Structure 1
Amino acid sequence: MAFGKVDTNGLMSAPNTDILPGRVGNLTAEQQHALDEFKDLIKAEGIFVPERHDDHYILRFLRARKFHIPNTHKMFVDCENWRKELQVDTLIDTFVFEEEEAVRNCYPRYYHNIDKAGRPIYIEHVGVIDIKTLFKVTDEERMTKQHVLSYEKLIRDRMPACSKLADRHIEQCCTILDLKGVSLRQFANAFGFIKRTSAIAQNYYPEMMGKMYVINAPMMFTSVWGMVKPLLDEVTVKKIVILGSNYQSTLLQDIDAANLPKVIGGTCECAGGCQTGEPGPWKDPRYMNTVA
């Protein structure tokens, strides 16, 4: 299976200056001190979990709170408490989402290959979401668990596969939200659920969005964006690009056509459909960990 080009720009053997600030390998003295201090703090409190809490993981929380130790500590502890309450660490082994196919039919969302920076591409076709049918075939609790499970598989399986392919640490995604066919009424119906899933991403999986393209955005999206924007932090807002129907050339600057489904301007036509195939390095034995 081909994954298209990874735009290395010298990053295959990158010096510190090629690593984004605030990451392992490119920390200021103050940031390194904050990382060391925070690790000592959570170890002393007995909440440090070596299997999950490597420096990459901890730095995501520190960056999300601008390396402010008290604010990072609150966010981190809140996340650990939430994980215990939801029993996140056992979801992969215990939770089975039998209604996956039925849910895909009314809420299409999937991972599909990688962008030129080596990041997994996540796609949602928001314009065809049927929220009423969605909650006839499942319920909010199960959808939340499936949403969380998707993040856990991203961290445990997809990201490591992408990192192995790129020969450097990959910890963020490129997201595409397709609004083709969306209506204001439809968005209003789905707004509560979107708000809750957005909160999970920001509070418990921070700093995982590298770029987001909102494509086929209708004129009325300006007012909707005014509702969504306050839910997001300023760093996240800067990563979001709003595009109308003429979006293909912009997408192709960051994503090879072969890695984009044909339905949104690429050339990929997976056997059985792109949203069920979910191609990527996580499906290649050379790079995969445990994801099926």
Structure 2
Amino acid sequence: MIINCKKWRKEFGVDDIVKNFDFPEKEEVDKYYPQFYHKIDKDGHPIYIEQLGKPNFKALYACTTQDRLLKCLVWEYEKFITSRPPACSAAVGHPVETSCTILDLKDVSLSNFYGVKDYIMAASSIGQDRYPECMGKFYIINAPWLFSGVWTVIKPWLDEVTVAKIVILGKDYKGTLLAQIPKENLPKELGGGCTCGKGCSLSDEGPWNEAKWQKIEAEMTFIIF
């Protein structure tokens, strides 16, 4: 497995992505397919939110490509490992190793799903095969009646460990989320109380962006290099 992982990292160009990848289209992509980290849950895990019901795929692929989306995903995973859990661990005073994910299916349709199916399959494969240690609690919210059909397509692509972490909720999800996430840390549109100035999806707010952690991270980078 380690050999396969090393081979994949070389073939995908992970080291080059970490050092050189830039995503100037981020704000434009956010309009059509919001995917973002935002604060922490009650256990200190960084919260990752993806809103699958919002995509306008014609507009999305006019400003980026699937290849660049996947490279951005890998860049985010690498940043996650080196920055987010360590910062969260320092902030809450105990080890934090995984994320708390929210996949919002509000307004999702079959056309939404099939428009991004190839990306979802590729992204899921990268997540569970290359970065399985990153995934913790996983909430699917606003699951519509047709989700059972979509889940039938997705589930075979996921391993049993991943499936066991997933909680599927309909529109009555707020109580479950707020049992895990402080209201002030959950975006208002998802039932919380947070309204970041620039918008929660672009704020990247969390311990990893606090000045004291960035100072520690800079000192660690200096020592390493």
In which range does the TM-score fall when normalised by the shorter chain? over 0.9
Partner of 1:111, secondary structure, is strand
Q: 2: distance between equivalents of 1:263 and 1:200?
A: 29
Task: Tell me the CA shift for residue 96 of structure 1.
Answer: 1.1
Q: Is the 8 A contact 2:40 2:181 kept in 1?
A: yes
The aligned residue for residue 145 of structure 1 is: 71
Q: 2:108 aligned to 171, 178, 182, which one?
A: 182
Task: Tell me the CA shift for residue 194 of structure 1.
Answer: 0.2
Q: Is the 8 A contact 1:107 1:126 kept in 2?
A: yes
Moved more, 177-186 or 90-99: 90-99
- Identity, % of aligned positions: 48
Q: 2: distance between equivalents of 1:117 and 1:166?
A: 8
1:87-139 deviations in whole A, cap 9, x for unaligned? 21232321111111111111111101001111000001110012222211111
Q: 2: distance between equivalents of 1:205 and 1:79?
A: 10
Q: Is the 8 A contact 1:162 1:287 kept in 2?
A: no
Partner of 1:118, secondary structure, is coil
Q: 1:277 aligned to 200, 203, 217, which one?
A: 203
1:225-258 deviations in whole A, cap 9, x for unaligned? 1111111111111111111111100101111101
1:201-232 deviations in whole A, cap 9, x for unaligned? 11111132111111111000011111111111
Partner of 1:207, secondary structure, is helix
Partner of 2:53, secondary structure, is helix
Q: 2: distance between equivalents of 1:130 and 1:148?
A: 22
Structure 1 position 96 matched with structure 2 position 40: no
Structure 1 position 254 matched with structure 2 position 180: yes
Partner of 1:218, secondary structure, is coil
Structure 1 position 83 matched with structure 2 position 9: yes
Aligned counterparts, 1:53-132, within 5 A: 75-132=1-58
Q: Which amino acid aligns with 1:118?
A: G
Task: Tell me the CA shift for residue 157 of structure 1.
Answer: 1.0
Task: Tell me the CA shift for residue 286 of structure 1.
Answer: 2.2
Task: Tell me the CA shift for residue 168 of structure 1.
Answer: 2.5
TM (norm. structure 1) is 0.72
The aligned residue for residue 159 of structure 1 is: 85
Q: 2: distance between equivalents of 1:283 and 1:223?
A: 39
Q: 1:136 aligned to 62, 84, 104, which one?
A: 62
Q: 1: distance between equivalents of 2:99 and 2:188?
A: 20
Partner of 2:213, secondary structure, is coil
- Runs of 5+ in structure 1 lacking a partner? 1-74
Q: Is the 8 A contact 1:173 1:208 kept in 2?
A: yes
Task: Tell me the CA shift for residue 183 of structure 1.
Answer: 0.4
Q: 2:161 aligned to 235, 254, 269, which one?
A: 235
Partner of 2:106, secondary structure, is coil
The aligned residue for residue 41 of structure 1 is: none
Q: Is the 8 A contact 2:128 2:162 kept in 1?
A: no
Partner of 1:211, secondary structure, is strand
Q: 1:219 aligned to 136, 145, 148, which one?
A: 145
Moved more, 247-256 or 85-94: 85-94
Q: 1: distance between equivalents of 2:66 and 2:118?
A: 11
- Higher Cα Rg: structure 1 or 2? 1
Specify which structure has the higher proportion of helix. 2
Q: Is the 8 A contact 1:162 1:170 kept in 2?
A: yes
RMSD: 1.2
Q: 1:198 aligned to 124, 144, 164, which one?
A: 124
